[in-house]
Amino acid sequence: MSGRIDIFQHVACEDLGTFAGPLAQRGFAPRYVRLFAGDVIPADWPDARALISLGGPMSVNDEGRYAYLAAEKAVIRAALERRQPVLGICLGSQLIASAAGARVYRGVRPEIGWAPITLTDEGRRDPLLAPLAGLDAVFHWHGETFDLPAGAVRLAFNDVTPNQAFRLGSAHGLQFHVEVDAAMIEAWMQEYAADLGPGAHAAVERLGAATRLSADALRAAGTKVIQAFLDSVSGASS
């Protein structure tokens, strides 16, 4: 079973990454809505089989600077009411949380780079999160976090960010990244160099070394994550 999946993109360097191949293999056609380039969310978004909201450097609270954030939150809220499958990655997870009425705010410190997460009991049973159970680390690049929305189930956490993943009805929010590969991380280290601070050169060396150790395992697990999401998309329409 196939169909269109609408992809809300907030910056050019954050795209589907390693998720693109499995979508194509399953016959799903991604339609990018490039919000950063001025695209307006198409009126026929309800006809999409699912929605994927990607990452970005802005805050979900920056609606004054990025008017499309309010429109995207409204669409996510409506998709939740319609039980349309939604997957949010990093900023996308924060948008789901905000759309559901939860607070989004600065974390205790930015998380940038490879770090572990711990799955809750529900996370280990969740088809999307279960493939991550054996990973030593996932990839992080965020400065904000969120409270768990009312009715949501917490699926993962770590010692820096209590809410790393959650399920809310037909939506999953992942604060971390599982769609990245080495080339994508390299692009981010250039695009977001200011986030690395005065020791940027050393940070790039550390991130590069960690990426060489962890990227292949993340790609394998991330493929299982998106496959599980596509299974849920197919099940929602059967």
At 24 the three-state DSSP class reads helix
Q: Contact, 149 vs 102, CB < 8 A?
A: yes
pLDDT of residue 235: 84
Confidence of residue 1 (pLDDT cuts 50, 70, 90): low
pLDDT of 49-98, one tens digit each?
Answer: 999 999 999 999 999 999 999 999 999 999 999 999 999 999 999 999 99
Cβ proximity of 232 and 138 under 8 Å: no
CB 122 within 8 A of CB 164: no
Q: Which domains does the chain have, with CATH numbers?
A: 3-236 (3.40.50.880)
* Per-residue pLDDT at 238: 54
To 5 degrees, how large is the angle CA 193–CA 197–CA 201?
Answer: 65
Decide: helix, strand or coil at residue 187: helix
Distance of alpha carbon 30 from the chain centroid: 16
Contacts of 121 (CB under 8 A, 6+ apart): none
Percent of the chain clearing pLDDT 90 (strictly above)? 94
Once rounded to an integer, what is the mean pLDDT over residues 156-183?
A: 97
Residue 7 has pLDDT above 60, yes or no: yes
As a whole number of angstroms, the distance between CA 56 and CA 141 comes to 9
- Give the pTM: 0.97
The answer to whether residues 82 and 115 touch, using CB atoms and an 8 Å cutoff, is no
Question: What DSSP state is assigned to residue 218?
Answer: H
> What is the model's pLDDT at position 200?
85
